[in-house]
Structure 1
Amino acid sequence: MNKPFVADTHFKNEKFHQNPLAKADYEECVFEGCQFQNGYLDNQNFVDCTFKDCDLSNTNVANTIWNNVQFESCKLVGVSFDKSETTFLTIAFSQCNLTLAIFYELSLQKTDFSGCNLSQADFTSTDLTSSNFTDCNLDNTLFQNSILDKADLSNAFNFNINPEINSLKKTKFSKEELIGLLKKYDIVIV
């Protein structure tokens, strides 16, 4: 069954948590101030779309395609991006709340997370090569078997990354936050 095709459409202040977004292929659409929380965006296709000031908290995104999708100042608490279709997965985040978001085993090379709250997010076994975490809150964020080679964590804060179980080749850190690489050793720095 072919889905409808929706292009160049601006959705503003829609309440999709009450009336779900129609299953379709969305291309070059903008979703601004829309409410999706606790709803369903599963089995959707988004290409070259932008979400601004939207609430997608706890939204089901199973089998959804995110191809060149931007999230700006959105609330994405608890979203399981690991359930999304991974074939064309290219996403970027700016000033978003991604608390408890799950990115387990995804390939997110060169992904922008600048200025995001990633508290308690899960990046287990995620390839984050050359990704940008500038000015991110990484409080209790889980990095295990993650690839952070060439990633930018300058000015990222509250992180606790074990260099023994993560790849950190040429990763950028600010001097002030290097303690986040030593927490596992339970040492005191004065």
Structure 2
Amino acid sequence: MIDNYFDNEEFIKIDFTTTQIKKGEYDQCRFLNCNFEGIHASNIQFVECEFIDCNFSNTIVKDTAFKDVIFEKCKIIGVKFNEVDPFLLQFQFTDCQLNLSSFYQLKIPNTPFVKCNLEEVDFAETILANALFDQSDLKNAIFDRTNLEKTDFRSATNFTINPKENNLKGAKFSRNNIDGLLIDFGVLLE
């Protein structure tokens, strides 16, 4: 049963820390410059929604559905995406701060991360096949038993990935960033 249904609506400059977000389904809605910081956004359905210039830091998203959702210029620090509803999970991130967030054990193939800061993000045991890390900073991001098959790292920076511990078949790297694959072996490129 859906509590509320919102279709093709715009939410502009709403501070959900003072105005409670209504539980329900949001279909093709746009959230512009909204603040979700630290709120419980659990059990909400976001379908084909856009979040632009929003603050999602430390937001609780347990059993929240993100189906074909776009995050652009958002601050999304410390979010446990590993707790979301995995059914039809699909999102893309452009120019977002995702530091300290977790995608642990999620199946998110084909996910684009464009111009994102992904410091200390947990991608352990995540299926990221065909993902794109375009001009994104992966400093101290965790890749452990991660499926990175055919993932594009050509313009990514600061990553450390152990080829023995992760599936890298068909993954793309540039000559400029290949050292991130050798650090665990004590090899230094100059």
TM range (shorter): over 0.9
> Deviation per CA, 1:11-42, whole angstroms, max 9, x where unpaired?
01100012221111100000000001011111
Q: Compute the TM-score of the two structures, normalised by the length of structure 1.
A: 0.98
Q: Indicate conservation of the 8 Å contact 1:27/1:49, yes or no.
A: yes
| SS of alignment partner, residue 116 of structure 1 | coil
After superposition, the CA RMSD in angstroms is 0.8
Task: Check whether the contact 2:80–2:103 (CA below 8 A) recurs between aligned residues.
Answer: yes
| Amino acid aligned to 1:29 | C
CA contact (8 A) 2:182 2:188 kept: no
How many Å separate the matches in 1 of 2:56 and 2:27? 19
Write the letter of the residue equivalent to 2:144: Q
In structure 1, the partner of 2:158 is 158
Q: Which residue of 1 aligns with 2:122?
A: 122
SS of 1:87's equivalent in the other structure is strand
**Structure 2-normalised TM-score?**
0.98
| Identity percentage of aligned residues | 36
Q: Distance in 2 between the 1:74 and 1:18 partners?
A: 19
> In the comparison of the two structures, how many residue pairs are matched?
190
* Other structure's SS at 2:86 match: coil
Counterpart of 2:103? 103
Q: What residue ranges of structure 2 are gaps of 5+ in the alignment? A: none
Q: What is the CA deviation profile of residues 25-70 of structure 1, one whole-angstrom value per residue up to 9, with x for unaligned ones?
A: 1000000000010111111000010000000000000000111100
- Distance, in Å, in 1 between the alignment partners of 2:114 and 2:174 is 15
CA deviations on 1:144-185 (whole Å, 9 max, x unpaired) are: 000001011111000000000000011011111100000011
Q: Which amino acid aligns with 1:48?
A: E
In 2, the alpha carbon distance for the partners of 1:143 and 1:188 equals 20
2:123–2:142: 8 Å Cα contact kept in structure 1? yes
Moved beyond 3 Å, runs of 4+: none
Distance in structure 2 (CA, Å) of the matches to 1:107 and 1:171 = 17
Q: State the 1:111 CA deviation.
A: 0.5
Q: For 2:166 and 2:156, locate their aligned partners in 1 and report how far apart those are by CA, in whole Å.
A: 17
Contact 1:77 1:99 (8 Å CA) reproduced: yes
Structure 1 partner of 2:141: 141
